[in-house]
């Protein structure tokens, strides 16, 4: 299956809601991919309606806050992609070390729809995220995937797995002090195009 990609703009906001919004309770304080972008303390202060409104506002900016993946007419994936300097949770260099003075584009969240996993969608979504970053001027693309071969619950795999980034040409450049679901994360970079 070959996916089509589109920036997450306000005109496709229903698809953004489909990928990021809470499924069962609209008033639940789902992440909405804001925990990293705004920083955990700031995101935690927002209620469900404020989170939705903030994402809608972000979708009105250029560049968009990420990219959506489509299988035919169905939205099946989301990638949070932005300049590292615009992702508050990555500011702590003791946790996420800076490799050099560059401000790389960061792929910090990959999400595929339940029921569509284990079909290669994540790999294609990563490639779509890299294309989005390059189309918006990225020289350097960076990510912070899990460095593990053991099975990790799907809820914790939003940073992606090191193996999928290696398949896309990324190389490990540093360790982090971050763990998700018990797995350590690493800093990986895609060499300039």
Q: Could you read off the pLDDT of 2-55 as tens digits, one per residue? A: 899 999 999 999 999 999 998 777 777 789 999 999 999 999 999 999 999 999
**CATH no. for residue 13?**
3.40.630.30
The H-assigned helical ranges of the chain are 13-20, 35-38, 40-44, 48-59, 121-135, 162-167
Is cis: bond before 139, omega within 30 of 0? Answer: no
pLDDT digits (tens, 9 = 90+) for 109-122: 999 987 655 667 89
* Residue span of the structural domain in which 133 resides: 4-190
Nearest to 57 by CA among 8, 99, 22, 94: 8
Rounded to 10 degrees, the C-alpha dihedral 58/120/108/128 comes to: -50
Whole-angstrom Cα distance, residue 193 to residue 174?
Answer: 20
Q: Are 79 and 132 in contact (CB under 8 A)?
A: yes
- The pLDDT value recorded for residue 150 is 86
Q: Are 190 and 174 in contact (CB under 8 A)?
A: no
Q: Are 96 and 144 in contact (CB under 8 A)?
A: yes
Nearest to 188 by CA among 151, 149, 153, 162: 162
Helices (H) and strands (E) in the chain, counts: 6, 7
Structure tokens at 2: 């070959």
Instruction: Give me the number of domains the chain comprises.
Output: 1
pLDDT digits (tens, 9 = 90+) for 171-188: 999 999 999 999 999 999
């Amino acid at each position: 299956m070959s996916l089509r990609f589109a920036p997450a703009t306000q005109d496709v906001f229903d698809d953004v809601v489909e990928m990021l919004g809470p499924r069962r309770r609209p008033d639940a304080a789902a992440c909405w991919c804001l925990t990293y972008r705004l920083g955990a303390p700031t995101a935690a202060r927002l209620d469900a309606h404020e989170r939705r409104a903030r994402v809608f506002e972000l979708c009105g900016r250029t560049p968009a806050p990420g990219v959506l993946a489509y299988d035919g007419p169905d939205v099946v994936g989301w990638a949070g992609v932005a300049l590292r300097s615009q992702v508050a949770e990555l500011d702590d260099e003791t946790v996420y070390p800076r490799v050099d003075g560059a401000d790389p584009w960061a792929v910090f969240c990959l999400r595929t729809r339940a029921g569509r996993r284990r079909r290669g969608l994540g790999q294609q979504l990563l490639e779509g995220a890299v294309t989005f970053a390059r189309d918006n001027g990225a020289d350097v693309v960076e990510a912070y995937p899990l460095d593990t071969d053991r099975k990790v619950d799907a809820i914790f795999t939003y940073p992606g797995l090191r193996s999928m980034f290696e398949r896309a040409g990324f190389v490990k450049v540093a360790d982090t002090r971050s763990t998700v679901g018990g797995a350590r994360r690493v800093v990986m970079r895609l060499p300039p195009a």
